[in-house]
Structure 1
């Protein structure tokens, strides 16, 4: 079994819809920017661009990976375009900032987005100071989660010991490679079906609707392991 949360030495957090609430609907802006990119690239209308975006996501794990494979796009220009969005829809998160302050161990971000996007989001939330590593899709050589190679590169480059690490994600299926490596996993629950895939699998060790509250309760060095409540505890 993985270590209890209060003994974790490295916390690996996803970014979007994990460190800020999915209700911010930031992805709607990103999705619109992706569709605009596809419309210009392929010379199609908005409806066709949406269908293509969904097809590429299903086939390749991310729209960008699909566009790289099928159309040889420059991933850096794509990321710059799709992340040129309004972040004021995200509220600063002082409670999360405090919870991270009380969380022992290193903190890292592992995102399918770009470093620049992560920097902007973390600054908006007011929590950038906590993270020593921003590991993005470029660092993963453009292999998106849940491809196992990115997880291994993160571990190798940043001396993460999987058996003493935890991964926090809003997409349940992205936790499978982390658990296979020996990491504790926490799924930040989502109402979206495509993010729930794998949520009932044994590689999801914990679940929560409230990341801040969960970290406050489980992540401090209390010296007492929490009750797992079976294969996945379900606070909230």
Structure 2
């Protein structure tokens, strides 16, 4: 069944592995650069740095949050370094551009990545100018989704009504907070085997259905187009 999104005035999109396919695997690049940064910042061998990196991710929500909490790290240089990656794997997505352009209301990118990273990825996708804002980790005072603080800052900045909003994410845990707040939730999943990644960082699979997820899709473009076709009055 196509989604009933006739109530939606705010369209909230995660960035990585959501607006572009998880198979682009940009996180593999980011992961390597995080390990390099941690090794240099803490003067550790790379093996130890990677262990600390993953430990902080699990315990603090992001590696950056752990570094800030445990080592008083300045977040700016970290974000600049880890997001300085090759975006060649990202395709130009004309179909997605048309689908997002046709949506009524306001559209946002809400990411645990940096605002600069969001700007670059959105440009590479060919989606520049379609979003009301790219809301990055800097805008949440470095509190990552799924923390309630991150959502509260996003809502206060843009006067978001969660009950008139839909959120698209590749991580089920981020949608749990969104669901609790009243969002319609859509999990964008991947069929690739991500067992090489830590469980907390893996893009969702089709088996990640849960009570807090209203809809599942493996293709954001097709999902948006089907929803518009099923609800033509909303796009008149």
| TM-score (ref. length: structure 2) | 0.89
SS of aligned partner of 2:107: strand
> By how many angstroms is 1:4 displaced?
2.7
Separation in 2, partners of 1:4, 1:141: 34
SS of aligned partner of 2:92: coil
Aligned twin of 1:141: 141
Mapping of residues 43-192 of structure 1, within 5 Å:
43-190=43-190, 191=192, 192=194
What 5-or-longer segments of structure 1 have no aligned partner? 225-236
Separation in 2, partners of 1:51, 1:31: 12
1:200 corresponds to 2:212: no
Aligned twin of 1:222: 232
1:21 corresponds to 2:21: yes
Listed one character per residue, the Cα deviations across residues 72-120 of structure 1 (whole Å, up to 9, x for unaligned) are 1101111011111111121111111011122222100101111111000
Assess if the C-alpha contact under 8 Å between 2:209 and 2:216 holds in 1. no
SS of aligned partner of 2:150: helix
> By how many angstroms is 1:37 displaced?
0.3
Separation in 2, partners of 1:159, 1:145: 18
For these two proteins, the number of residue pairs brought into alignment is: 222
CA root-mean-square deviation = 1.8
SS of aligned partner of 1:138: helix
Assess if the C-alpha contact under 8 Å between 1:173 and 1:199 holds in 2. no
> By how many angstroms is 1:223 displaced?
4.4
Assess if the C-alpha contact under 8 Å between 1:6 and 1:219 holds in 2. no
| TM-score (ref. length: structure 1) | 0.89
Aligned twin of 2:32: 32
SS of aligned partner of 2:23: helix
What 5-or-longer segments of structure 2 have no aligned partner? none
SS of aligned partner of 2:176: helix
1:211 corresponds to 2:220: yes
